[in-house]
Structure 1
Amino acid sequence: MENKRKMMMFCLLLAAISSPVFTGEWKASVAKNLDALIKSCVVIPCSYTHAKDELPHSRLRGIWHLPAGLDQRIYHDDQTTILENYRGRTKLLGNLGQGNCTLEMIEIRDVDNGPFCFRIELVETGTETSKIDKFSFVDSCVSFKMITEPPKPTLIPPKKAIQGHPYTITCSVIHTCPSHIPQLTWSRGTAEEITEVHREIYQGTWEAQSTLTFITEEKDDHKDITCTAEFFGGRKSTEKLTLYVKRTENYNHIIIPAVVGIGTAVIFAGLCIFMLKKYKNRIAELQSQEGTVWNRLSRMSRRIKWQG
């Protein structure tokens, strides 16, 4: 009896090792939850691995379906096998031969909340192989959180705006459709003053970022700067801030009166020196003339005495 029990356990263990489900021969990574903007688009990140060598893309078939059954397809190479509501709205972005099963869905509707599951099939000579070469990842399905209003951009300004100094402001918006990046536009600025960055912040969620840099002027004070995000499908959202410019310190109200005062003092001093010099010259001239007259009178007096 003990031997039979050991043999049964051995057989179960051997079956588990041989099964692709237990060995993890097929493995997939699919985003579990994504925000979906109605009338816009969503990209579902998906990747899978297989224990065998790299499989040729031509022999692989990727299918996305509802959990209700494999016949509830939202994506298939053959459009006629897709549910009518999804025809023309889904597209496989990834290369199955490289383990990429990423799916794009456009024109999102409020009923497209999912969940949606991925299935991979290995096809040979036009016929399907045994079950070992096909696998549905029903435990790795994605669901959408439906969003009726487009996300508003976030503005990140520096602490201060100083007249005559560079001013940099960043506008960013979160989205889930990297195949159609939201367009960020400013109410001012040229192409040379704007730089853009697009990055994934976590699986399935991306950030579009635009940075505006310009030199602030006095006329910019109390002016509004607006950033507009336009999503695929035409949905738009805006955010704005009011710019307060700190003027450069101006000492003209002190410098100009001081310069005028100093200039006036210099001119007055110059006039005084000129008048004083002229007065001294006149005194000297008069003194010189007075001495000459006195000398003449003195000589005449002496001559009269001699003649007497």
Structure 2
Amino acid sequence: MKDECRSLMAALSVNVLTVYMFLSVFFLPGDLARCNLLISAPKKLEALTGSCLLIPCSIKDGTDFFNLQELSGAWFPVPESFWRFRYLMRHYHMDSFPITGNLEQKDCTTLISNVTTEHSNTFYFGIMGDFSEIALCDPVDIEVKDSPQRPSIEIPADLKEKTSVSITCSAPTPCPHSPPELTWNLQADSQRQTETNTDGSFTTKIQKTITLSDTHDGFTIRCSARYPVNEGPPKTAETLKTLSVSYTKQFGVVFVSLKILGVLMLCAAIIIFQSWFQCRFSNKPEKDSNEEDYENIVMETQTSADITTRPG
């Protein structure tokens, strides 16, 4: 009977603690939420199945009362692992991820090496040792997708002829250890670079500087991002963007060109008419010498006859 009562009391204690932790995360504000452990980490991260995910994290100032040398840290999903974390603080839960950062340097970063759809959850960082604490006020929401996000192409708003502009193609990088490969139909000025965003997440970029001309108006830029995964071919996403360049219409050049064309056509017409005229008169039949002698004889005979028949 006593053993049954003890089991019942233990079960009730666990249930009460679970409810308290749940309420402290989702409903209790301010001091009731017990934000004793504060961290800096992205509020939301997007991951790709089959790839890795880095959760950047650092412990904020104000937690110096913790002796971090004697503590260990891990990331835990919500909600079922709270009570496990409290009561089994010396044993990692099967869904937890030990940190890869140096806790003595307040680095609570962790790496998920093989992301699956089961990792779509809200995660909390916690420390354990002689006592335990969870960063209740700094959860990280992880959304896992089967297809990568499309890269973005950044182009200045006002594109004018004969101006130099920098065009950038960037792609979110869930895991900087395995960044995406960026390719496009422009020749990049430099190799890809992975940068850290203000929230701690990462982005991979390539860039190209071009001098605009009228030929760039209507040109479509194509940028592709290929993400390596643990198994199978890389996963690819692509973005297209068309340039709209303002340039001066060359009316003066067109007018001069038409004027020159008109002069050339006039000269060609004169040459053709002259050739036709020369050809027409050069083809008139000529009289041979025998025919000319015959005509002279006839004329002389007619003249003699006229003289003879004239009365004296």
TM-score range for the pair, normalised by the shorter chain length: 0.5 to 0.7
For 1:246 and 1:30, locate their aligned partners in 2 and report how far apart those are by CA, in whole Å: 43
Q: Provide Cα deviations, 1:249-303, integer angstroms capped at 9, x if missing partner.
A: 5433444647998xxxxxxxxxxxxxxxxxxxxxxxxxxxxxxxxxxxxxxxxxx
Choose from 43, 46, 62 the match for 1:35: 46
Whether 2:226 is the aligned partner of 1:225: answer no
Shift in Å, 1:227:
1.1
Choose from 198, 214, 223 the match for 2:210: 214
Shift in Å, 1:240:
1.4
Give the 3-state SS of the residue equivalent to 1:111 in structure 2: helix
Give the 3-state SS of the residue equivalent to 1:188 in structure 2: coil
> For the structure 1 residues 114 and 147, does the alpha-carbon distance in structure 2 shift closer, same or farther, using more than 3 Å as the test?
same
Shift in Å, 1:237:
0.9
Give the 3-state SS of the residue equivalent to 1:236 in structure 2: strand
Give the TM-score taking structure 1 as reference length.
0.54
Choose from 51, 64, 89 the match for 1:51: 64
RMSD: 4.2
For 1:24 and 1:246, locate their aligned partners in 2 and report how far apart those are by CA, in whole Å: 55
Q: What amino acid sits opposite 1:114 in the alignment? A: N
Report how many residues are paired: 220
The residue number in structure 1 matching 2:170 is 172
User: Is the contact between residue 165 and residue 211 of structure 2 (CA under 8 Å) also seen in structure 1?
Assistant: yes
For 1:51 and 1:23, locate their aligned partners in 2 and report how far apart those are by CA, in whole Å: 16
Give the TM-score taking structure 2 as reference length.
0.54
Q: Provide Cα deviations, 1:148-187, integer angstroms capped at 9, x if missing partner.
A: 3211122233346556543432323344434444333222
Q: Provide Cα deviations, 1:126-164, integer angstroms capped at 9, x if missing partner.
A: xxxx43xx4344564433223232111222333465565
For 1:24 and 1:222, locate their aligned partners in 2 and report how far apart those are by CA, in whole Å: 55
For 1:190 and 1:211, locate their aligned partners in 2 and report how far apart those are by CA, in whole Å: 6
For 1:170 and 1:147, locate their aligned partners in 2 and report how far apart those are by CA, in whole Å: 25
The residue number in structure 2 matching 1:153 is 151
User: Is the contact between residue 195 and residue 212 of structure 1 (CA under 8 Å) also seen in structure 2?
Assistant: no
Q: Provide Cα deviations, 1:220-269, integer angstroms capped at 9, x if missing partner.
A: 554432111223423221111234556665433444647998xxxxxxxx
The residue number in structure 2 matching 1:68 is 80
User: Is the contact between residue 188 and residue 206 of structure 2 (CA under 8 Å) also seen in structure 1?
Assistant: no
Structure 2 residues without counterparts, runs of 5 or longer: 1-31, 264-312
User: Is the contact between residue 179 and residue 194 of structure 2 (CA under 8 Å) also seen in structure 1?
Assistant: no
> For the structure 1 residues 53 and 104, does the alpha-carbon distance in structure 2 shift closer, same or farther, using more than 3 Å as the test?
closer
For 2:248 and 2:33, locate their aligned partners in 1 and report how far apart those are by CA, in whole Å: 72
The residue number in structure 2 matching 1:237 is 237
For 1:51 and 1:190, locate their aligned partners in 2 and report how far apart those are by CA, in whole Å: 46
Q: How does 1:1-308 map to 2 (within 5 A)?
A: 26-48=37-59, 50-52=63-65, 55-56=68-69, 59-66=70-77, 67-69=79-81, 83=94, 92-122=99-129, 130-131=130-131, 134-137=132-135, 140-159=138-157, 165-191=163-189, 196=193, 198-201=195-198, 203-216=199-212, 220=216, 222-233=218-229, 234-243=234-243, 249-250=249-250, 251-255=252-256, 257=259
Higher strand proportion, which one? 1
User: Is the contact between residue 156 and residue 169 of structure 1 (CA under 8 Å) also seen in structure 2?
Assistant: yes
For 2:254 and 2:46, locate their aligned partners in 1 and report how far apart those are by CA, in whole Å: 59
